[in-house]
Chain A
Amino acid sequence: MFALVDVNNFYASCERLFEPRLEGRPVVVLSNNDGCIIARSQEAKDLGIPMGIAMHKVKGALKRGQVHVYSSNYALYGDMSGRVISVLRRFTPYLEVYSIDESFLDFGGFADPAAYGHEIKDTVYRWTGLPVSVGIGVTKTLAKIANRIAKKDPALNGVFLIPDDSRHVDTLLGALPAGAVWGIGRRLAARLKKIGIATALDLKNAGPTFIRARFSVVVERTVLELRGTPCLALEMTAPAQKGIIVSRGFARRLTDYCGIEAAVATYASRAAEKLRRQNLATNKLTVTLRTSPFDPPHRRYASAAGFVFPEVTSDTPEIIGAACRCLKGIFRPGLPYQKAGVFLDGLEDTAARQQSLFPAAGIDRDKSRALMKAVDRINADWGRDTVRFAVTGTQRPWAMKQSRKSPCYTTRWADLKLVGG
């Protein structure tokens, strides 16, 4: 038995928690760079504002509907996600964090799973202020479907358990398009439809061996899971991180070297911070740079360059230095660049770090570690980028537009929510 616990309209709910006046009003959250709509409150969905649409295309509708628009605030969402997960862990240690707002829980052995689901839902709401839905089923795929049903039907009060009675299950699956089943994407759904498989029930009734031959073993597993045979287990340990990527599009096209260097240095600096936060060090760095793949052919350009450190490092100046050297190698003048990235590879735990026989000349490891610690500390206390390296630039024309970002209520002293006294 599995439960899928999922926060309703997660990003919008986080914004609303600290702005109670948004209760009952439409809220949308924009992607990085304020480009597209990536999250909507129920009221915004009801207004017919589509998911993923470019913000400029619905400007009129947003205004008419008096929709509250926010830039994405990942510091807030990440903190709130951690809170939800830690509440869920009180209910069972057997938990898989599936995404920022969804977790699978092992529900085996509970006498009354639905009642437990309600208790989880009520506790998460009371402790974190975020509304969740709980879907319960004998397989992860069925738990996903149960969750979807729990969300859609208000009479269920946020919790739904797919019953044992097979006739009842078939009625539910018959009302669900195959494309809404976990793991069945739009393209696959279209291919299934061509051979007469339109609903989740059709898919359940398709022969597993036929499906494997025609599609893949992955789709066969879905068929079996719909039939109540668990094929997917909880994945409780996140796979070890293989690399750290900081890659972003620029707010507008950049042609001059200095501007791009400042952006790449900033990404490198951000990647180094991520390294140190996880007590990791890197031995290989790659820089990528490109124009838009939709540019005319003579302006289309994409390239990458790598650098191997003589000794693993988490030192910001060393990483910035290597990134700038890589950038010099791939920069071509006169092109309208759209995006750059810094990728750190060959990660090692700093605790288990081996000293090189031939240490990099001119780098005092102890001194560098002390300096990085001080920099991280200041930035943690006073806000990101209070202290930063000059090469990361002062104007930052490339920086992401996030003109409607809410305060980092839970992660920054300066951003605490004010309450009337």
Chain B
Amino acid sequence: MPSDVVIRGRAGGGAADGTHAPSALPLFAATVQAGFPSPADDYLEGAIDLNEHLIRRPAATFFLRVLGDSMTAAGIHSGDLLIVDRSVHPGDGKIVIAVIDGELAVKRLYRRRGRIRLLAENPRYPPIDINDEQNLHIWGVVVHAIHSFT
């Protein structure tokens, strides 16, 4: 007897506003002996779409790429892909994309008792003190980092 494997997932599909092509994982419902129909065929449910898992609001979501090693302790390495959702509130402890001297940079936001700092997650990089809320420019909040092992 072949061991039947059924992977269940919601039907895939692109982002509602078409900003991203669906990256679907092909789904095979069953291993079948040649010539016989699979008992799982009636349960085919399409493909698992990674976008659905990673992107809550396509219109507000941008992909950026990291260059540098200041966030390695947070699990963010040079070359990693960042998924940034601008609609998420940049609260204390969030990993954010901040505008520093006109450039975008990924940092952890510290915001407690009226004190605002942008922290690196690597002891070699000092924290940046923001003296005034007015001078804090948050571009978006990092919701996922994708690290590739190949």
Contact = CB atoms under 8 A, between A and B. Distances in A.
A419 B58 contact: no
B137 A20 contact: yes
Contacts of B143: none
Contacts, number: 88
B87 to A, nearest CB: 5
Given A416-B81, A419-B97, A128 B60 contact: yes
B139 A129 contact: yes
A83 interface: yes
B40 to A, nearest CB: 27
Nearest to A380: B21
A417 B112 CA distance: 30
A121 to B, nearest CB: 15
A86 B16 contact: yes
Contacts of B71: 421
Interface string B71-89: 1000011101110001100
A380 B14 CA distance: 14
Interface stretch (B2-10, B45-53, B98-106): B98-106
A371 to B, nearest CB: 19
Contact of A128 (B59, B97, B105): B59
Interface residues of B, number: 38
Contacts of B57: 127
Given A126-B87, A129-B139, A421-B106, A82 B17 contact: yes
Nearest to A22: B102
B104 A86 contact: no
A418 interface: yes
A20 B68 contact: no
A418 B65 contact: yes
Q: Point out which of A79, A380, A420 has the most chain B C-beta atoms below 10 A from its C-beta.
A: A420
B51 to A, nearest CB: 14
Contacts of A421: 66-71, 76-78, 80, 105-106
A420 B100 CA distance: 10
A23 B102 CA distance: 8
A126 B61 CA distance: 11
B81 A86 contact: no
Nearest to A88: B59
A419 B145 CA distance: 13
A277 to B, nearest CB: 11
A21 interface: yes
Contacts of B28: none
Contacts of A86: 16-17, 19, 58-59
B39 interface: no
A391 interface: no
Contacts of B58: 83, 86
B63 interface: yes
A194 to B, nearest CB: 48
B67 A79 contact: no
A79 B21 contact: no
A21 B139 contact: no
B59 A83 contact: yes
A421 B103 CA distance: 11
Nearest to A79: B19
Contacts of B103: 20-21, 420
Given A20-B103, A421-B76, A416 B17 contact: no
A82 B59 CA distance: 8
A82 B65 contact: no
B17 A419 contact: no
B26 interface: no
A106 to B, nearest CB: 20
A85 interface: yes
Interface string A209-237: 00000000000000000000000000000
Nearest to A418: B67
- Listed from nearest, the 3 A-B pairs whose CB atoms lie closest are A21-B102, A421-B68, A86-B17
19 contacts: A20-B103, A21-B102, A21-B103, A82-B19, A83-B19, A83-B58, A85-B17, A129-B139, A409-B62, A410-B19, A418-B66, A419-B64, A419-B105, A419-B106, A420-B68, A420-B70, A421-B68, A421-B71, A421-B80
